[in-house]
Amino acid sequence: AVYDLVVLNGLVVTEEKTGEFDIAVADGKISKVVPRGQLSEDNAKRFIDAEGGLVMPGGIDTHVHLDEPPLYGKGSTADNYETGTRSAIAGGTTTLIAFAPQQKSQPSLLACLEATHIRARSNCYSDYSFHLICSNAGPTAISEFAALREAGISSLKIYMTYEALQLNDSEILDVLFEARKQKIVTMIHAENGALIDWTIKKLEERELFAPKYHATSHPPVAEVEATYRAISLSSFIDTPILIVHVSSPSAAKHISDAQKKGLPIYAETCPQYLFLTRRDLDKPGFEGAKCVCSPPPREGKDDQEGIWRAIEDGTFTVLSSDHCPFLYDNVETGKKSVISPEYPIGHFKYIPNGIAGVETRLALTLSANRISPEKFVKVTSTNPAKLYGLYPKKGAFIPGESDADITVWYPTGMKEFRLKNEMLHHNVDYTPYEGHVMKQWPRYTILRGEVVWDKDHGGIVGKKGYGQFVKRGVSTLAGSRSDQEWNVEDF
């Protein structure tokens, strides 16, 4: 047989095992995975010698903000679909799920989905899908959930904080109830908005404006309380939820307790909670603004350790980037974006929330050498695919079924290097991980059988527009339980 591509001499990693296998690709699909030695470069039009490096299903990043309007009360995101997906493939991510935002003034989710399709279409380097952000849970939006499923969208994100987005508990119940009927996974940003706003006022009364007070104004208890409330509302309705960007080990504990009871509660964490702490917000001047996100990086090593442990023990289903990029310097004024005439020394509440990380997510985490390669694949690719209805097309190497989305890493012992923003492919003027020592980087990224990233020979070699919209089915992780005492029909 003549294949389009063979990847030879790799250490192939799946969520289950690691071994010496060769991979053959035909028509954009995984065709064969066989013990090393059975395939040679003569079997294919192109071959890649992995030289003993790790070979994994392409990364799937299920939390990415691209081309969003100023929904969080601040600026628009710096990356669009072109620059964001370009950055993704350079970091080993072959599929991302970005957000299709609905503003409170827009009743229809379907209209928001269409508008987002237009922003993405023919602009992407990676494959992509969308989660709808539902900020107006009125009757129009709720009545459209079934149509969203038809359109290949099986997840929504809702917020318990941010004035422009926040739903109250009754609206959350409306969403969860219909999500249960339509087998939609609801992602929840769990922070107590009122507690945060109250704390911001108190800090302002004392004229405390430095970036580090962003962390003070978003304390762990805001996250812990909202996480427990989200779990309670979900278990009342009996429908799966995913708590996004969990930063605090105490919130993770509530999640783990719910999981032990058999509830379909899933959770996500992000590299910022593994590699940053509150001290990164407390740098001289405005530097700290580079690490402002919500929830904020927590106190110190113990918190980071707690999050790593919760990845290891399975509490966290997925590790996403929450790539939410903003420029540090305002291009028009040439000044720091956070400085205004009113606040010449800046004010933490005007710092856009979110940091860039779609390109660094995989390499940072793998370089830390803290979890097994199998667990790494599970939380960065396979579980994201299962949770959001992409499996086994994505997130696996199942012959005949999986797309040939492959990330090939350098053989171990590659020269360490210090990360610099200029190496990255996003449209952002900084990385919060500047100077971080990296032990790994993707050498090749392959999307549906095509090499789209070749670090040593051309870098980005994929074409804008090659990335496709992927229609998603239902989650294949556990959903509503059948032993609930009431049925949806009772209401």
Residues at the interface with ligand URP (CB under 6 A): 65, 72, 189, 245, 293-294, 322, 324, 353-354
**Residue 171 sits in the site that holds Zn ion (CB under 5 A):** no
The residue (of 51 and 313) whose beta carbon lies closer to Zn ion is: 51
Looking at residues 388 to 447 of the shown chain, list those that interact with Zn ion (rule: CB under 5 A): none
290 binding partner (options ligand URP, Zn ion, none; Cβ < 5 to 8 Å by kind): none
Here the tokens at position 133 are: 């952000």
State CA 268 to chain mean position distance.
Answer: 8
132 binding partner (options ligand URP, Zn ion, none; Cβ < 5 to 8 Å by kind): none
Residue 450 buriedness (CB in 10 A; 0-12 / 13-18 / 19+): middle
Looking at residues 291 to 350 of the shown chain, list those that interact with Zn ion (rule: CB under 5 A): 322
Sign of CA dihedral 434, 383, 235, 132: positive
**Residue 359 sits in the site that holds Zn ion (CB under 5 A):** no
Residue with tokens 């290891």: 312
42 binding partner (options ligand URP, Zn ion, none; Cβ < 5 to 8 Å by kind): none
Total binding residues for Zn ion by CB under 5 A?
3
228 binding partner (options ligand URP, Zn ion, none; Cβ < 5 to 8 Å by kind): none
Beta bridge partners of 6: 24, 47
At closest approach, how far in Å is the CB of 27 from Zn ion?
26
110 binding partner (options ligand URP, Zn ion, none; Cβ < 5 to 8 Å by kind): none
At closest approach, how far in Å is the CB of 157 from Zn ion?
7
Binding mask 446-475 for Zn ion (x = CB under 5 A): ----------x-------------------
Rounded to 10 degrees, what is the CA torsion of 415, 418, 419, 421? Answer: -130
User: What's the rounded Cα separation, in Å, for the pair 229 and 234?
Assistant: 9
User: What's the rounded Cα separation, in Å, for the pair 488 and 237?
Assistant: 9
234 binding partner (options ligand URP, Zn ion, none; Cβ < 5 to 8 Å by kind): none
The residue (of 354 and 389) whose beta carbon lies closer to ligand URP is: 354
Helix, strand, or coil here: 128?
strand
**Residue 456: count of CB within 10 angstroms of its CB:** 8
The residue (of 189 and 349) whose beta carbon lies closer to Zn ion is: 189
Give ∠ CA 92-322-420 in degrees, rounded to 5.
55
Q: Which amino acid is at 395?
A: G
Nearest Cα neighbor of 58 from 388, 455, 404 is 404
Here the tokens at position 11 are: 């250490």
353 binding partner (options Zn ion, ligand URP, none; Cβ < 5 to 8 Å by kind): ligand URP
**Residue 189 sits in the site that holds Zn ion (CB under 5 A):** yes
At closest approach, how far in Å is the CB of 411 from Zn ion?
12
Here the tokens at position 397 are: 């190497």
HSE-up of residue 101 (Cα within 13 Å, Cβ side): 20
Beta strands, E only, 155-264? 155-159, 185-189, 241-243
293 binding partner (options Zn ion, ligand URP, none; Cβ < 5 to 8 Å by kind): ligand URP
Helix, strand, or coil here: 384?
helix
The residue (of 143 and 427) whose beta carbon lies closer to ligand URP is: 427
The residue (of 30 and 387) whose beta carbon lies closer to Zn ion is: 387
The residue (of 15 and 268) whose beta carbon lies closer to Zn ion is: 268
At closest approach, how far in Å is the CB of 53 from ligand URP?
32
The residue (of 54 and 71) whose beta carbon lies closer to ligand URP is: 71
Nearest Cα neighbor of 390 from 152, 176, 179, 146 is 152
Q: Which amino acid is at 103?
A: Q
**H-type alpha helices, 106-183:** 109-120, 139-143, 145-150, 169-182
At closest approach, how far in Å is the CB of 143 from ligand URP?
26
DSSP per-residue letters across 37-94 = TS--GGGEEEEEE-TT-EEEEPEEEEEE--S--STTSS---S--HHHHHHHHHHTTEE
At closest approach, how far in Å is the CB of 63 from ligand URP?
7
Is residue 92 a contact partner of residue 407, using CB atoms and an 8 Å limit?
yes
At closest approach, how far in Å is the CB of 295 from ligand URP?
8
The stretch near Zn ion (CB under 5 A) out of 189-197, 336-344, 423-431, 463-471 is 189-197
Residue with tokens 């005492």: 485
The stretch near Zn ion (CB under 5 A) out of 15-23, 184-192, 299-307, 398-406 is 184-192
At closest approach, how far in Å is the CB of 354 from ligand URP?
3
358 binding partner (options ligand URP, Zn ion, none; Cβ < 5 to 8 Å by kind): none
Specify the DSSP element, H or E, that contains 266.
Answer: strand 265-269
The residue (of 120 and 246) whose beta carbon lies closer to Zn ion is: 246
At closest approach, how far in Å is the CB of 428 from Zn ion?
15
The residue (of 62 and 381) whose beta carbon lies closer to Zn ion is: 62
Report the residue closest to Zn ion, judged by CB: 189
The residue (of 456 and 483) whose beta carbon lies closer to Zn ion is: 456
The residue (of 100 and 293) whose beta carbon lies closer to ligand URP is: 293
User: What's the rounded Cα separation, in Å, for the pair 385 and 378?
Assistant: 9
Is residue 360 a contact partner of residue 369, using CB atoms and an 8 Å limit?
no
The residue (of 247 and 445) whose beta carbon lies closer to ligand URP is: 247
State the residues that interact with Zn ion by CB under 5 A. 189, 322, 456
